[in-house]
Amino acid sequence: MSMTMTQKILARHAGLESVQAGQLINARLDLVMGSDVTAPIAIQEMGKYNLCSVFDPDKIVLVMDHFAPSKDIQAAKNCALCRDFAKRMGIRNFYDGGRMGIEHALLPEQGFVAPGELIIGADSHTCTYGALGAFSTGIGSTDMAAGMFCGESWFKVPAAIRVNLTGRFQKFVGGKDLILSLIGMIGVDGARYKSIEFTGSALPDISIDDRFTICNMAIEAGAKNAIFPVDEVTLTYLKNRVTRSCAPVEADPDADYVCTVDINLSTLKPVLAAPHLPSNVREAGSCAGLPIDQVVIGCCTNGHITDLRVAAEIFRGRRVAQNVRCIIIPATPEIYLQAMREGLLELFVKCGCTVSMPTCGPCNGGHVGVLADHERCVSTTNRNFVGRMGAKSSEIYLTSPAVAAASAVAGVIAVPEVRENGR
Tens-digit pLDDT profile for residues 292-326: 999 999 989 999 999 999 999 999 999 999 999 99
Find how far residue 253's CA is from the centre of its chain: 29
Contact between residue 158 and residue 218 where contact means Cβ atoms under 8 Å apart? no
Count of beta carbons in the 10 Å neighbourhood of residue 244: 7
Q: Which pLDDT score is estimated for 186?
A: 96
Residue 423 binned pLDDT confidence (cut-offs 50, 70, 90)? very low
pLDDT of 421 strictly over 70: no
147-182 core/surface letters (b: 16 or more CB in 10 A; e: else): bbbebbbebebbbbbbbebeeebeebbbbbbbbbbb
Q: Are 66 and 36 in contact (CB under 8 A)?
A: yes
Residue 30 backbone phi and psi in degrees, to 5: -90, -25
d(CA 302, CA 307): 6
Q: Is the pLDDT of residue 29 over 60?
A: yes
Residues 6 or more apart in contact with residue 320 via CB below 8 angstroms: 295, 326, 351, 352, 353, 408, 409
DSSP state of 418: P
Q: How far is it, in rounded angstroms, from Cα 19 to Cα 374? A: 50
Tell me if 287 sits within 8 A of 272, measured CB to CB.
yes
Sign of the C-alpha dihedral, residues 194, 153, 115, 249?
Answer: negative
Taking CB atoms within 8 Å and a gap of at least 24, the contacts of 13-22 are 13/118, 13/135, 19/157, 20/157, 21/157, 21/158, 21/159, 21/160, 21/256, 22/156, 22/157, 22/159
Average pLDDT over residues 30-48: 96
| Spatial distance between the Cα atoms of 95 and 227, rounded to a whole number of angstroms | 26
Residue 152, phi then psi, degrees to nearest 5: -135, 160
Identity of the amino acid at 333: P
| Phi/psi-derived region of residue 240, left when phi > 0, alpha when psi is between -120 and 50, beta in every other case | left
pLDDT at 324: 97
What are the chain's domains?
Answer: 5-241+250-264 (3.30.499.10), 274-410 (3.30.499.10)
Cite the DSSP H helix spans in 151-230.
Answer: 175-186, 208-216
The pLDDT tens digits of the residues spanning 369-395 come to: 999 999 999 999 999 999 999 999 999
Give 135's strand partners: 118
Task: Write the pLDDT tens digit of every residue in 331-365.
Answer: 999 999 999 999 999 999 999 999 999 998 898 88
> Residues with Cβ < 8 Å from 97, sequence gap 6 or more?
64, 69
Which H helix or E strand runs over 150? helix 141-150
pTM over 0.85: yes
Mean pLDDT of the chain: 95
- The CA-based angle 183-167-104, given to 5 degrees, is 45
Q: Shortest CA distance to 2 belongs to which of 259, 257, 256?
A: 256
pLDDT score for 122:
95
Reported as a pLDDT band with limits 50, 70 and 90, residue 366 is confident
State how far the Cα of 115 lies from the Cα of 282, in Å rounded to an integer: 34
Instruction: State the Cα torsion 368-371-372-375 to the nearest 10°.
Output: 140
Q: pLDDT of 231-290, one tens digit each?
A: 999 999 999 999 999 999 999 999 999 999 999 999 999 999 999 999 999 999 999 999
Strands 259-264 and 225-227 come out as: unpaired
Output the pLDDT for position 418.
Answer: 75
For residue 331, give the nearest of 101, 99, 123, 113 by alpha carbon: 101
For residue 153, pLDDT over 60 is answered with yes
pLDDT tops 70 at residue 189: yes
Output the pLDDT for position 50.
Answer: 92
- Three-state secondary structure call for residue 377: strand
In whole angstroms, what is the distance from residue 27 CA to residue 13 CA?
5
134 contact partners, CB below 8 Å, separation of at least 6: 9, 113, 114, 115, 116, 117, 118, 119, 227
**φ, ψ for residue 216 (rounded to 5)?**
-55, -40
Q: d(Cα 94, Cα 76) in Å, to the nearest integer?
A: 15
Contacts (Cβ under 8 Å, ≥6 apart) of 182: 163, 221, 261, 263
Which pairing describes strands 395-399 and 271-273: parallel, antiparallel, or unpaired?
antiparallel
50-76 tens-digit pLDDT: 999 999 999 999 999 999 888 899 999
